[in-house]
Each structure stands twice: as structure tokens, then as C-alpha cells.
Structure 1
């Protein structure tokens, strides 16, 4: 009897050992298959130069790798200096080169002519007006074909101290209500200013023309902290370009027609005369101003209106988190110069480019498509970048306003032969601000640039000065 029990116990133990062995074998087999699957996955390499993107791209690559069975993404931060040269060298050597990379749109022509841009995205249906604004499509286009996937953008807009404007508006509305109800006492509900009233009046009071800012400066009873009603970095063409952007043709609408330059015409002359006139109202010394100083003064309440890029919103958030900013701010489109002359600002679009040397262009295209469609407000929260994708819902209305401004902007041109236009244009702006003769300064600028792009000696015939229109002429008529 005892012997029988021992025999049954041994049988059970043998069976258990067999089950455990089979289970281990199964697990080992699964691990082996997983290892094989990992080895068979195509590895895509993405290069980028902006350190601010690291955390965001790390999260996106993890998400991409979790969702893809046959492809995995690796990201690599590379120094910005001679970025395309580094990609070209690695690609030609066939060692550790990127399948796709992030590049600003002004360098797309160089990438295409260097063989560093694949034709794959030219036929990718994901690049369309449903997903992207026309500005983004133009930025990523070269010779009428899509050469890159638009990813995120940078542009300038009018920023204002909302706290100051609301305070002024509140006082105005309260005075109006007191006139309607002279018997009312402080604290009386009839004198209460509602949020809706503030918002409606703010929309009305925001400048529609530059002259409105001048008029505001003349009549504004500024708080003690305010040192300037309107100040911006007049040394940087990115913040000045809007003065001529609507009438200056820099290499065509896609920025890739080298000889399509029109820098010297009646409208540009008139716009720059208004720019020069502003130097009389807003005494900004070019030697004392720069973007960092303007940003600091704006955040501390020393400036009411400024021209700034989306990074200002990041600075505002950081200052609030650290308790160093007590103001609210708003974003608006850049106003027209006057009733006849409009404005149009410049933008830079960072794009995902598929390397022409990639052995997996289709997989790289799917990866780029994934990344641009994943864009959300988290991209701004994590990296301080504003995605170009349409249809995003923003908690912060200022981000939505920046996108609206971007959609009406001029993409930075791609033409390599006109790459120093911005340095020359920047210099012309500084000279004109300091009092140089507008017509002659622009004529010489155009002459220099046309000689550069044509390789021939060019003599621009002087255009007769258009009638001078004062920035305040519209206000004086009223």
C-alpha cells in the first residue's frame, strides 16, 4: 500500500516536471521568436539639431516603436553646424546615416540638389491641404513637388499686455456706466463690468493699423512701470519683414525661383517710408535693443505692444511658474500699415526630410506621416514648438492665434543664390531707420541682389518717389 502511494507520488512529480519543462520551452521559444522579430525589424534613424526636441521625440519614438511591428525608430541629436554636410558625408560612406532628418525649409533646395531628399514624399497622399495649411505646403515644396513633410513652424505676431488693456477698458466702461447712471455708488451692480464686455471692447481696441498704435501711445495714460508703448527688435529682419512682406517678391511663392526678385517698387518704397517715419514716434536705438532685452522688458510690464515669436509664450509660462510674472498677455495678427498698405510676416517651417540615400524610403515616409499626424499641443508643452497640422484644439487661445498668423505668412525662400538677401535687407532696414534716403537705399539693394543672382552687371533705373503718406494721415482725417 505504501509502495503504491510512493509510486503515484513519483508519477505526479514526473508529470509536473514535464509540464514545467514544456512551459519553459514555450517561454524560451516565445523569447526566441521575439528576438528574431526584433532582429528582422527595419531600423530607421532620425537626425535633428534642436536639443529642445529631445524629450518630445523620445516619447514619439517609443510610441512609434510600440505600434509598428516591422519598423523601429532611433533618434539622434547632431550639432547644427554644417548639418547637411554631416548627413552627406555619412550617407556617402554608408555608415550610420539618417533615413530622415529635420530641416528648416530654407535649406530644402540645398538638400534636393545634394541628393539628400527622396522623391517618395512627392507622391505621398498624406501631404495635402486637408492636413496642412497652404503656407506649410509651399514651405515643403521644391520645383512644384513636395520635397518634405511640414512639421512645425516659427513666425512673428503682435503680442500685447492684456492686463494693461483690460485695466484701461474697465476704467472706460465704468466711466461710461457712471455717466448713464450718475446716482450709482461704487460697488453697485449696475456699474459691474462683465467678461463679455471686456472681450468685446478688447477686440475693438486692438490695432488694425500701425497708426492705431501711434494713436494709442498719444492718448494712453500709462502705468508707472511702462517705459514704451511699442518696441521690438528692429535689428532682426524676422521681426521687421512684415513691413514689406506683402509687396516684396523673394524668389516666387514657393521661394525657389532664384531670378524672381522684386525688391524695388512703389509699394515697397511707400512701406519703408512709413517704417522710417515710425522712428520719429518710437525712439528705438538699434545699438541698445535686441530680442532678449525686448522679451525681458515685455514680461516685466515695461512694454505694452511688441513683435515676437512663439518662444515668448514659453517664456511667459516659465515666468508665471516661477512667480516672476503678474501679467496676462494676448496674441494678435500684425496690423496693416494704413488703409492702402497691408502687411505680411515671414515664417520658417521645420520639415521632416527623407534622405535620398535611405534604403527604406517607404518606411521612412510612414514614420514621417506618423510623426506629423501625432502633433498636438503637447509638442508645444514639451518642446516649445508649434505644429503645422490643421484641426488641433488648443487650450491656450494664443497658440491658435499664432497658427492663424502663420497661415497668412510668407515662407522663408529656399534659393541658395539669394541666401544673403536677408543680411542685405536687414542692413537696408537699419540704414533707413537711421535716416538714409529710402528710394536710393532700396534701389542699391535691388541692384546688388540682381547682379548676384544673374551674374551680370545690373543698373536699376530710379523709380520716381510715390506720394508720401503720413502714418497718421488716416487719424488726422478722422
Structure 2
């Protein structure tokens, strides 16, 4: 399976819980950035972004005294996104004469490695990171604000969820590139698009598996990124921008009803939270034995390799009365404050985010978050539509504890514990953590 998709769910628990504060302690905090009065801005267009590099040299003097091409260094961790960065780098070089070197790094120690490289003077000019890392990154002085996009530009070319994902402390960080979220997949040769989770349970009751090979429904029940959607639309998790520690309510009656429905699914679908994995779902898709599943956007590049004809649709509501609320994660290019080529670093970030975005799905099967591009592929359009109806991953520093506590809560509810008691326990733990 695609590495970043799996790793984000698996690694965010230990990254956020274990590594968050150490990075802030080690980071070299910047001072005096963004504290001045805002400048009067003309209308933002990509042409106006290009004007920021007008007249700037595209060569630098090397240690030997000879001129060498100006070089931007870009770090990323998602192998599947690499072809897009490389193609964009080649096009950028053709247009502007600036070499862009894209380097894939290990995800587990990614932020710590950036901080160490900055201290040794070898840090990247641009780094790719997910929106849940933004608060940690900017507090550690590892990213700059987005200096090119005006609010009007943001809202004209990106959906609201992207604006929210990239906002921290009333400022916008990063140049958004692509996203991930959950989708429903189903075997279109034996069933139809589910109108609700009730459609799936009805199918489970009535379906006769003559081959005795089919699994009716699976999702990675051990992954809180997938489980989150069952909380519904009335869970209040750290506010609109994911960092309001005064906003946390997960034990109201609406959430209790949703999670009671979640628990009832155990009667139909026997899944073990201790042995559940996304890999097992992907395996069933490749074998063609899964009828319904909750998947992530990595499947967009794999549908043709699956063992039957699968179709995608948005994750449906649980019932007419009980809705779902999908999560999303947004990946962006961030300019390192320690870059010596800030203008070109910002321009290349905007190039990835805006100018070259229409090529992204065709190259990498990643879903670009720019709103006003042609989406000729129906699944690209479907995934983008689903993204627009999501909430973004929280970015508060206490976020890591929430994922750890919620994973335990979901597991206990699935295994039959009292729903209200488990949600109250989660609320109490987070109330104490957020004080």
C-alpha cells in the first residue's frame, strides 16, 4: 500500500505524543517574523508571484569562485508523491532556470531531521508536511507564513477545508498541494452504491455467498482516522482550525447515539480491533473478495489491479437521522525560514500548489486541493467533493493524546463496553489534558 497513507495513521500517535515537545525545545525560534503592519497588496495572481523573482540571479558563486546554477532543495516523505515533485521541478527549471533537487526522507524522524539540518546549515529550502504538524512547525520556527496568497486568492482557488487546515494563530501557513480522506468502495458487480450504513447491514442479512469467499464489509477498525467519521457532525474537537483547546465535547447525546450505532455494527461484521489492518483490506480488494469497505485515496491509483470491478462513492450517513463526519489531511509545501533563496522557494511552493496542480492526478493519482482545475477523471472529482465536506485533522499540540485516548475508547466500545461511560472517560481525560 502507499506508504504515506498507512504511515500517517500508524505514526501520528507516536510522532505527536512522543516527539512534539522535543521538537519545540530543540527548534530555533524565529523572532520578528510577521509582526509588522500588513502591506497593501495588489491583486494576487500567479503572474504577480512571478514578479517577486524578476531580476534575481539564477546562479550563485561557488566555493571555487565559479558561477553555479541556483539550486532549491525540497524534502518530502511520501514516495507516491515523488513523481509529481520531480515533474514540477523539471518544468520549473525550464521556465526559470533554477534547479530543484527533490529528496525523499524517512517519515518517522522527518521533523527532527529538518531541525538538525537547519542547525548545521544544510536544511531544505522547501519541506512538505501535513496540516496537523503546522502548529508544531511554526512554534518551532521551522516554517514561514505563506507570503504570496492573499485571503481572496485562497478563497477563490481553494475550498474552505483547505483554508482551515492551513490556518494557525490567525495566520496562513504553507502552499496546499494534495489531500487524503476516507471513501466508500463497493463491488459493483454484486451490489449498488449504499445510501446509508443501513443499506450495508440489509445486504449482509440477505446476501447468499454461494462461493463462501466474500467478506461483506471491512474498515481498519484500529485506525482512529477511519473511526472518527462515526462520531458524527456534533462532536466538537478543538474548533474550526483544530487548535482551540477550549472547544472539546465528545460525550453529548448526539455522539452517544452515533457511537451506539457504531457498536451495533459488531453484530453484523466480525472485526477484531487487535488484528485489524489496512493491509488486510487492500488484500481483500486485490483478491476481489470484499463487498464493501472504507478506504483512503491511495486506492485511486490501484483500482485496475483489484480482483473485481469496484466503484467508489462518498461515505454515506449511518441512517437518515445519524450523519457521519469525515476527516481529511492536507499536505502542503512550506518555506523554511533558514532558506537563502526565499523568493524562489515561495515561487516553487506556489508552483506546486497552484500553477502545476492540474497535472497532479495524472502523474501521481494524488487529489489536488486547488478548486478550479479540470477534473476529467470521475474518481478524482468524487474524492475532491468528499474532501470539501470533511473537517481537517486537528493541529493542537495535545492532538497526539486525543488519538491515543480515542483509539482506546473506540476499541472498548466496539468490544461491548457501555458507550456513554467510555465517551465520558474520554471527555474527562481530554479535559484534564487541555487545562
Q: Which interval holds the TM-score relative to the shorter structure?
A: 0.7 to 0.9
Q: Does the 8 A contact of 1:377 with 1:386 survive in 2?
A: no
C-alpha deviation, 1:416, in angstroms: 0.8
Give yes or no for the alignment of 1:137 onto 2:156.
no
Distance in 2, Cα, partners of 1:432 & 1:34: 59
C-alpha deviation, 1:369, in angstroms: 0.9
Give yes or no for the alignment of 1:46 onto 2:74.
yes
Q: Deviations over 1:417-461 (max 9, x none)?
A: 23221121111111111100111111111101111111xxxxxxx
Name the counterpart of 1:431.
Answer: 412
Distance in 2, Cα, partners of 1:403 & 1:115: 31
Distance in 1, Cα, partners of 2:249 & 2:340: 42
Distance in 2, Cα, partners of 1:252 & 1:361: 32
Q: Does the 8 A contact of 2:204 with 2:268 survive in 1?
A: no
Answer with 114-123 or 396-405: which moved more.
114-123
Name the counterpart of 2:238.
Answer: 251
Name the counterpart of 2:86.
Answer: 58
Name the counterpart of 2:273.
Answer: 286
Q: Does the 8 A contact of 1:121 with 1:127 survive in 2?
A: no
Give yes or no for the alignment of 1:302 onto 2:289.
yes
Q: Does the 8 A contact of 1:150 with 1:349 survive in 2?
A: yes
Change (3 A) 1:418 1:329: same
C-alpha deviation, 1:115, in angstroms: 0.9
Give the TM-score, by structure 2 length.
Answer: 0.80
Change (3 A) 1:39 1:245: farther
Name the counterpart of 1:110.
Answer: 136
Name the counterpart of 2:118.
Answer: 91
C-alpha deviation, 1:82, in angstroms: 2.5
Answer with 426-435 or 357-366: which moved more.
357-366
> Superposition pairs for residues 73-472 of structure 1, below 5 Å?
73-93=100-120, 95-121=121-147, 124=150, 127-165=153-191, 206-224=193-211, 226-317=213-304, 319=305, 325-376=306-357, 378-454=359-435
Larger radius of gyration: 1
SS at match of 2:412: helix
Runs of 4 or more above 6 Å deviation: 33-38
Q: Does the 8 A contact of 1:120 with 1:361 survive in 2?
A: no
Distance in 2, Cα, partners of 1:39 & 1:269: 66
Q: Does the 8 A contact of 1:126 with 1:369 survive in 2?
A: no
SS at match of 1:445: helix
| Structure 2 unaligned regions, length at least 5 | 1-56
C-alpha deviation, 1:43, in angstroms: 2.7
Q: Does the 8 A contact of 2:232 with 2:258 survive in 1?
A: no
Answer with 34-43 or 403-412: which moved more.
34-43
Distance in 2, Cα, partners of 1:36 & 1:50: 30
C-alpha deviation, 1:245, in angstroms: 4.2
Q: Does the 8 A contact of 2:69 with 2:99 survive in 1?
A: yes
Q: Does the 8 A contact of 1:46 with 1:73 survive in 2?
A: yes
Name the counterpart of 1:196.
Answer: none
C-alpha deviation, 1:159, in angstroms: 0.7
Name the counterpart of 1:180.
Answer: none
Change (3 A) 1:437 1:65: same
SS at match of 2:291: strand
Answer with 389-398 or 432-441: which moved more.
389-398
| Structure 1 unaligned regions, length at least 5 | 1-32, 166-201, 320-324, 455-478
More helix by share: 1
Answer with 230-239 or 104-113: which moved more.
230-239
Q: How many residues align?
A: 375
